[in-house]
Amino acid sequence: MIYLDNAATTPVLPAVSQVMLETLNTTFGNPSSIHSYGRSAGKIIREARKTIATILDVPARNLIFTSGGSEANNQALIGYALANRAKGNHIITTAIEHHAVLHTVLYLQDRHGFDVTLVKPNPDGSFTPDLITNALRDDTILVSTMYANNETGQILPIAEIADRLKTHQAVFHVDAVQVMGKLPIHPVALGIDFLSASAHKFHGPKGVGFLYHGDLQFDNLIHGGDQENSRRAGTESIHNIVGMAKALEVSAEQLDANYNKVSALKTQLLSELDGLNYYVNEFGKTMPHVLNLGFPSFNQDLLLMKLDLQGVAISTGSACTAGAIEPSHVLEAVYGKASVKLKESVRISLSDLTTSQEITDFVHILKTIITQNSSHN
């Protein structure tokens, strides 16, 4: 089996599953309880929060543990928009966002009457800070962009956008799900007001993530008890939180080495693809972890199926929409709805656990499938 769908999710590291199991076996107390069992659980959560806060170089009190990236995005966008409506009614995001952002701002538009601007990339697919600043209005209260795109790996100009927003009332939310654990990220230094992350994208468990927030006024998304500094009700998932902290700690320790390894794997992949008829959907600076390739006249769903039968896992785009027949909204934003590229492009996503041999074996299988398909046409 060759797993090349790491943008969808990543394998859990043995060191992560080990600390999770230890926590499950030894720490079952409710962190809100005042007895020793509860205090022990509470201490573990505080330590995990401190670990993540240190890596991000932010105050620990400004981190909210969530059920994942989607909840973190919803908490930031809905929470801030509803609490700050008196300041304005306009929200800006991009047309290439993950649906966890797109569907959330459209909910705010449809159910709460916010005016939403979806900013498309430039005609060549590039994304420049001017695209955001040109869309700003006096009543804009919130700007939301991803750090890197989950389908193409494209890196957006986060620092430049943040810098331009310094003189505007709009706060800046960044969906950092695809870069957390892969790039050094310091929200305060960058001028980011909200930042979302999800553990299962950096070899942690599913069902847990976090939201960094500045000292801002925003409504709670989940109401009840006083957990998470009264920001998110519900008994904390201690083992998941511990697993997430461990995964990010391991990733941070190996950040440069892992990035260089994945960069080398991408270079190898493109080199070994030589001779095949294909193109790369790449728009400026990208993460080496994600590669979006088009194979002319080869239906993407058929290619995925044939690769799957050979034990290779890739995707056509976001795993959250892969079950649908909808074409990629990311590529549509660049090429237009009628483009054939929407039907022949696939996503290959790597991790630091991917091996050079797996790349070689994948290319061999891919070339065999495409050659057989060409001979049948």
Question: Residues 153, 289: contact at Cβ < 8 Å?
Answer: yes
| Cβ partners under 8 Å of residue 104, min gap 6 | 73, 74, 77, 78
Give the amino acid at 55.
I
| Token duo for residue 111 | 């159910």
247 in active site: no
d(CA 269, CA 312): 15
Instruction: Count Cα neighbours of 338 within 13 Å in the Cβ-side half-sphere.
Output: 0
Please, which contacts does 58-61 make with residues 24 or more away whose CB atoms are closer than 8 Å? 58/186, 58/187, 58/188, 58/212, 61/229
Rounded Cα distance between 20 and 226, Å, is: 24
Residue 210's nearest CA partner among 181, 252, 170, 182 is: 181
Task: Determine the Cα–Cα distance for residues 2 and 310; give it in Å rounded to an integer.
Answer: 9
Q: How far is CA 350 from CA 169, 252, 259, 263, 295, in A?
A: 38, 17, 11, 9, 19
Alpha-carbon distances, residue 109 vs 159, 173, 255 (angstroms): 27, 17, 39
Q: What is the greatest pairwise CA distance in the chain?
A: 72
- As a whole number of angstroms, the distance between CA 338 and CA 352 comes to 36
Per annotation, catalytic residue among 82, 106, 319, 320? 320
Q: Say if CB 310 and CB 302 are below 8 A apart.
A: no
Give the Cα separation of 172 and 176 in Å (integer). 12
Q: Which residues are catalytic?
A: 320
